[in-house]
Amino acid sequence: MTAAFKADPAFEAGSVVACDWPLCQVRLQDDARYPWLILIPRRAGLQEIEDLTGAERAALMDEVVRAGELVRELGQAAGRPVQKLNVAALGNVTAQLHVHVVGRRHDDGQWPDPVWGRGAAVPYGANGLQAAVSRIRLSSGG
């Protein structure tokens, strides 16, 4: 019997589930400084991209591109068009395989440094978070 997928509890502290795509759970990072999605393949026990099958790796890449388009849409909606996408599967803190897709701007306060572990997150607030999640769901067809 295969173990069921469950997102690492560490994701609960700073992000919310927005929707599920064919391969990944899509989470919105609760940091209004950046449009930022986290994709977590819904397969138990994954730590590295190499743990996915070839078809799953292709699906992950398709979903990363889709997430990039959505991050650009979120940035545009917030009046801060994305100038550069940062895509990373680090896993140094949370070993479960996940991919960050972050919209960056040259004036975002952390540029050109990475966003991980830099500065305190600025939460969206309940209304802003719900609006962003709703936009993600609408753009995702559900």
pLDDT of residue 119: 86
- Given the structure tokens 């590295």, which residue do they identify? 48
Question: CA 26 to CA 108: how far, in whole Å?
Answer: 23
Are 104 and 10 in contact by the 8 Å Cβ rule? The answer is no
In which band, very low, low, confident or very high, does the pLDDT at 2 lie, cut at 50, 70 and 90? low
**Omega cis (within 30) before 123:** no
pLDDT of residue 27: 98
**What is the residue-averaged pLDDT of the chain?**
95
In which band, very low, low, confident or very high, does the pLDDT at 49 lie, cut at 50, 70 and 90? very high
